[in-house]
Structure 1
Amino acid sequence: MELRHLQHFVAVAEDQHFTRAAERLMVSQSGLSASIRALERELRAPLFVRTTRRVTLTEAGRALLGEAERILAQVRAAHEAVAAVQGVLRGTLALGTEQCIAGVHVAGLLAAFRRRHPDVEIRLRQYGSGTLAEEVAAGRLDLAFAYRTQADTDQLRSASLTTEPMYVLCHPEHHLAGAAALTPEDIAGEVFVDFHPDFGPRRATDAAFAETGVRRTVALEVNDVHSLLDLVDENLGIAVVPRHFRHKREALTALPLKGTAEAAYETVALLPPHRATSPAARALMTLLETGGE
């Protein structure tokens, strides 16, 4: 089994399209198709269901995907380890982050990293914390900056970066705006704006309310910070968010949320559970810890 066959297989599985995968790999589509057919012959099983619009994995393909990703990650780590011993950091840094993460200025950190290690290719992916944890566990990411939730981080190594209290954001004309602080009981009946359940702040907020036994209903669900702020700015609902969000829209009223031991968001660096941290990921963490961003 050749590594290039596994690389081609993973690319097609990710793109669900032979043409797009061939363009990304910079190979001909006929060459890519031949590579996949060779792998299928070797494994004696079809790996994809092909249609005119896209390709999907067969049961055999799904079984192979996780193993192929782990093999390729191990090969990449081997190359990077040898390069690090030789005093030159090369290879790839596959980094994930949740948007507007607290405690890390991601753009500044990556700019500083590139200045120090120009031979390392940086690949950045932005997901919710739940997906980030899955990507790190599967070996598709070397490192991720995410919000800690018990279900996501139990099976991973993690390093705490910062902790922020929960705040309630509301329009200045909202009936709660004059309060000094609020509890989950105070806001249980309100209209909530919140993120998709994959996002770390949503998971932590849900856990905080569950801890108090207070039920709430998220009526307006979004996938980005600016949409959340826009909806609150139009007085369509309130939002429970990390403290630093209050500085993103100064006209909104921000009130601390009290009354639950779980009322905090912890930012962590997520690392693979069963393999060594890649040299590039170690270098990025060192840069972060020394204030290099």
Structure 2
Amino acid sequence: MELQQMRYVVAVAETNSFTRAAERCLVVQSALSHQIARLEQELGARLFERTTRRVRLTPAGAAFLPAARQCLDAAERAAVEVAAAIGEVRGRLSVGLIPSVAAVDIPRALRDFRRQYPKVRISLRVGASDDLVEQVKQGAVEVAFLGLPTTARPEGVGVRELARDRLVAVVAPDHPLADEPAVDLRRLSSEVFVDLPAKTAGRAQSDLAFSAAGLTRDVAFEVTNADFLARMVGQGLGVAMLPSAYVAQLSGVTTIEVIDAPARVEYVIWSPGSRTPAATAFLRILDIPDVYGAQ
């Protein structure tokens, strides 16, 4: 059983086509088919059902696929570790972030990282804070930037606090509140809101503040993306509460201080287990030394 054979099986499973798999693997289809046939003979089971219309995994193929992926991941990790041992960082780095991260200039950090480690391939995943914590725990994301209410803290991951910030009200330039220097939660509670989805960490910051003040509000629009949320506010569809450091980069909206505003904490988190050389190098770019472990 060879790693190349496993790569071919994974490629066919992901493309549902021997032709497309061969194109992805940069080999002729006959060579790919021959190697998979050899592997099937060695295993004593067919991995794919082949018809003129489609290709799909057999039960044996479905059982083989996860283990094949694990073997390929282990082989890649071994090559990366050997490279790191001789002073070369390469491989892959998966970074997660919330759209409103403001404590770190992510593009600049990635630029600095790229200049030092040009052989690392980077993937970015944008999502909600709670989801990013779970993805880091599962190893799908290695380093993530997120924001949580002051009452919460990431658990089961390596963590470092980056900054604290207060929320501000954001309204359209022609909104009746636009000329006010400051407002309180009671005044805002009479407005229609645009906010992040219910039960997300970004939404919880505002929900907890209004609840603690004994107030309710009307969230007429729920948006998963903070940038698009601000665009909706700019069109007069409602008001919003966003971190002041993030709002500073927005245009087309007016910012108002909220006297009794809630706060949020931005964190960087990382995998609690052994880190890849690329993840360790990226944390060093952020000036986070190796002594910070899982908490």
Q: TM-score, normalization: structure 1?
A: 0.73
What letter is aligned with 1:121? R
Structure 2 distance, partners of 1:148, 1:70, is 33
SS at match of 1:148: strand
Corresponding residue for 2:235?
Answer: 234
What letter is aligned with 2:269? L
RMSD: 4.3
Question: Percent identity at matched positions?
Answer: 30
Structure 2 distance, partners of 1:70, 1:181, is 55
Q: Residue 211 and residue 153 in structure 1: after superposition, are their counterparts in 2 closer, same or farther (change >3 A)?
A: farther
Contact 2:102 2:246 in 1 (8 A): no
The one-character-per-residue Cα deviations of 1:31-75 (angstroms, maximum 9, x if unpaired) are: 59x96xx79x97x9x99xxxx99989x9x979x96x887776665
Structure 2 distance, partners of 1:27, 1:209, is 61
**Is residue 89 of structure 2 the alignment partner of residue 89 of structure 1?**
yes
Contact 1:165 1:256 in 2 (8 A): no
Q: Residue 105 and residue 25 in structure 1: after superposition, are their counterparts in 2 closer, same or farther (change >3 A)?
A: farther
TM-aligned CA deviation for residue 198 of structure 1: 7.5
Corresponding residue for 1:140?
Answer: 140
TM-aligned CA deviation for residue 116 of structure 1: 0.6
TM-aligned CA deviation for residue 182 of structure 1: 3.0
Structure 2 distance, partners of 1:199, 1:54, is 40
Listed as ranges, the matches of 1:247-258 within 5 Å are: 247-258=248-259
Q: TM-score, normalization: structure 2?
A: 0.72
Question: How many pairs does the alignment contain?
Answer: 280
SS at match of 1:93: strand
Structure 2 distance, partners of 1:5, 1:212, is 62
The one-character-per-residue Cα deviations of 1:105-150 (angstroms, maximum 9, x if unpaired) are: 2222112111111121222222222322222111111111222367
Structure 1 distance, partners of 2:148, 2:287, is 19
Q: Residue 271 and residue 226 in structure 1: after superposition, are their counterparts in 2 closer, same or farther (change >3 A)?
A: closer
Structure 2 distance, partners of 1:87, 1:105, is 27
Structure 1 distance, partners of 2:244, 2:250, is 12
Contact 1:145 1:267 in 2 (8 A): yes
Structure 1 distance, partners of 2:132, 2:166, is 22
Corresponding residue for 1:214?
Answer: 215
SS at match of 1:141: coil
Corresponding residue for 2:265?
Answer: 266
Larger Rg: 2
What letter is aligned with 2:267? V
Contact 2:192 2:218 in 1 (8 A): yes
Deviates more, 1:124-133 or 1:277-286: 124-133
The one-character-per-residue Cα deviations of 1:2-29 (angstroms, maximum 9, x if unpaired) are: 767877787788x6x5359846666788
SS at match of 1:153: coil
**Is residue 112 of structure 2 the alignment partner of residue 112 of structure 1?**
yes
Corresponding residue for 1:128?
Answer: 128
SS at match of 2:245: helix
Structure 1 distance, partners of 2:243, 2:209, is 13
Contact 1:73 1:140 in 2 (8 A): no
What letter is aligned with 1:115? R
**Is residue 19 of structure 2 the alignment partner of residue 18 of structure 1?**
no
